[in-house]
Amino acid sequence: MSGDFFSDVPARITYGGPDSSDPLAYAVYQPDREVLGKRMEDQLRIAVCLWHSFNWPGSDVFGVGTFDRPWLTAGVDVATASRAKLDAAFEFIDKLNVPFFTFHDRDVAPEGRTYAETSANLDASVDQIERHMARTGARLLWGTANLFTHPRYAAGAATNPDPEVFAYAAAQVKTMLEVTHRLRGENYVLWGGREGYETLLNTDLRQEEAQFARFLALVAEHKHRIGFKGTLLIEPKPQEPTKHQYDYDVAAVVGFLQRHDLASEYRLNLEANHATLAGHSFHHEVASAIALGAFGSIDVNRGDYQNGWDTDQFPNSVDELSLALYETLAAGGFTTGGFNFDAKLRRQSLSRTDLFHAHIAGIDTLARSLLVAADMVERRTLESARKARYAPWSGELGAAIQSGSVTLADLERRVASGEIDPRPRSGQQELLEGLVNRRIWAADRTRERATKKAE
Ligand code: XUL
Ligand code: CO
């Protein structure tokens, strides 16, 4: 288990251009290309996740692993397995030429028989990660603790009826927050996959809400205690694995944070397939987080419209991602966040090179969507129409209502006198859909021409 794992792949994936027939080259992604005043790499801030790509064997609920991941084979000792896994992961990140990675504690170090053994496993892996980061220049977008795999967490971590489980989860998050700080991570993520219920028959909702709030307050307190300057992120998901999860969607999480005076401590990590599981479009979740001042980072993937579960497929729709990227860019883009590929191969994609094909196609989809979104921001495709739609609110009546200087009685008087007599106006949905499509079809062509002219 040594030497290059991806030996069929060149040392670096480079830009081949839209006409390239090489699947191991980018058709659109050019890290140094300037988009809205920033390098494309700095706009997209792409990360590879270590769980789906390196710590999952390709199993599903009906079948065992299908992938060629020698370090996951039964019988390999912990030290050899984690060394081989990290060597392969950093070879992948380096060859793919993306700046970031993300991981859970358990992705890089299994639980030992005791807490001390678990901590020693993690320490050894973190030392190796640090060396790989120094060697390759890869950076940590975020770290997180796995509070859902071990049987102790079956009834939740922070929301468990047993305070000893709460304490165990607290110990794990403390450690992983410190690891993230040590590796100069830019964010720390909390995904509450088992913070919810399987049945209301045995669940005290009020009690669990209070526990959850206490946990998140403790995490924020520890962040400040150790001087971690990154952003704390909560990742909403409505269900799966639990029947109902408290971090249901953007609106539910922001309401929770506000109820518990935690809104200034946390932002959100939005995942495309979690949005669709909640019955929303991804566009909706991104726009909502921005409107509520809680936007942080993105786990990019997609679901399957025929399946009702989290298929975590690699993104391939420019139409859908362009709109999410438009909202992000119009709001100023990422600060500490980025696009993390929380996406997994299909179980039949068993060649080592499939991992490259999947990421390259996904990254090109993002890059193309970025160009469309930047074009729409520059042309004010949606901005002018939105501005015009709300313009009356800047008039005398709108200002009076918003400032709180009129009462219902005042408004009724003005309506009764005939002074106010609203006339419905067109929402122009089809016009706007057509304008967006025109930008999707044209944006890259016009930008390619502009780049060529400038050369
Ligand atoms: C699960 C999920 C997680 C989080 C990190 O659906 O998205 O991988 O991103 O725990
Ligand atoms: Co995720």
Helix (H, G, I), strand (E, B) or coil at 30: coil
**How many other C-beta atoms can be found within 10 angstroms of the C-beta atom of residue 325?**
28
* Mutation choice for ligand 1 from 271, 310, 313, CB with most ligand atoms inside 8 A: 271
Q: Kindly give the distance from the C-alpha atom of residue 49 to the centroid of ligand 1, in angstroms, as a whole number.
A: 10
Low-confidence ranges of the chain (pLDDT < 70): 1-2, 443-455
Beta pairing partners, 269:
297
**CA–CA gap between residue 26 and residue 360 (Å, rounded):** 6
For the segment 370-401, what is each residue's pLDDT rounded down to a tens digit?
999 999 999 999 999 999 999 999 999 999 99
Tell me the CA–centroid distance for residue 94 and ligand 1, in Å: 23
Q: How distant, in Å, are the alpha carbons of 147, 177, 214, 238 from that of 193?
A: 8, 18, 17, 9
> Ligand 1 centroid vs 333 CA: distance in angstroms?
22
- For ligand 1, the distance from its centroid to the CA atom of residue 48, given in whole angstroms, is 13
- Residue 139 in 3-state DSSP? strand
* Helix residue ranges, H only, 260-306: 272-277, 282-291
Ligand having the closest approach to the CA of 245? 1
The β-bridge partners of 101 are: 48, 140
Q: Which CATH class is domain 34-379?
A: alpha beta
269 touches 337 (CB < 8 A): yes
Element (H, E) at 39: strand 38-39
Ligand 1: does its nearest atom lie under 6 Å from the Cβ of 271? yes
- Which ligand number lies closest to the CA of residue 176? 1
What pLDDT shows up at residue 1? 61
- Omega into 241 within 30° of 0, i.e. cis? yes
Active site residue 261: no
The residue annotated as part of the active site, out of 94, 105, 107, 312, is: 107
The pLDDT assigned to 454 comes to 52
What pLDDT score was predicted for residue 442?
87
Domain ranges of the chain: 34-379, 392-454
Output the CA–CA distances (angstroms, integers) from residue 64 to 72, 156, 270, in the order listed: 12, 26, 30
Tell me which amino acid residue 21 is: S
Task: Give the number of other Cβ atoms within 10 Å of residue 1's Cβ.
Answer: 14
Nearest alpha carbon, ligand 1 atom 10: 191
- Neighbour tally for 380: CB within 10 Å: 12
Strands 100-104 and 266-271: unpaired
Look at residue 215 in the predicted model and tell me its pLDDT: 99
**Which residue, among 184, 192, 191, 259, has the nearest Cα to 226 in the 3D structure?**
184
Minimum-distance ligand 1 atom for the alpha carbon of 312? 6
Cβ of 312 below 6 Å from ligand 1: no
pLDDT of residue 413: 98
The C-alpha torsion from 30 through 32 and 34 to 36, rounded to 10°, is 90
Is there a catalytic annotation at residue 107?
A: yes
C-beta of 194 in contact with ligand 1 (< 6 A): no
Amino acid letter, 331? A
What is the C-alpha to C-alpha distance for residues 398 and 394, in angstroms, rounded to an integer?
Answer: 6
Looking at residue 308, its pLDDT comes to: 85
Q: With beta carbons less than 8 A apart as the criterion, state whether 28 and 43 touch.
A: no
299 in ligand 1 pocket by Cβ < 6 Å? Answer: yes
Contacts of 376 (CB under 8 A, 6+ apart): 322, 326, 382, 436, 439, 443
Please state the pTM of the whole predicted model: 0.96
pLDDT digits (tens, 9 = 90+) for 209-241: 999 999 999 999 999 999 999 999 999 999 999
Q: Is the CB of 235 under 6 A from ligand 1?
A: yes
Phi, psi torsion values for 31, nearest 5 degrees:
-50, -35
R_g of the chain computed on alpha carbons = 24
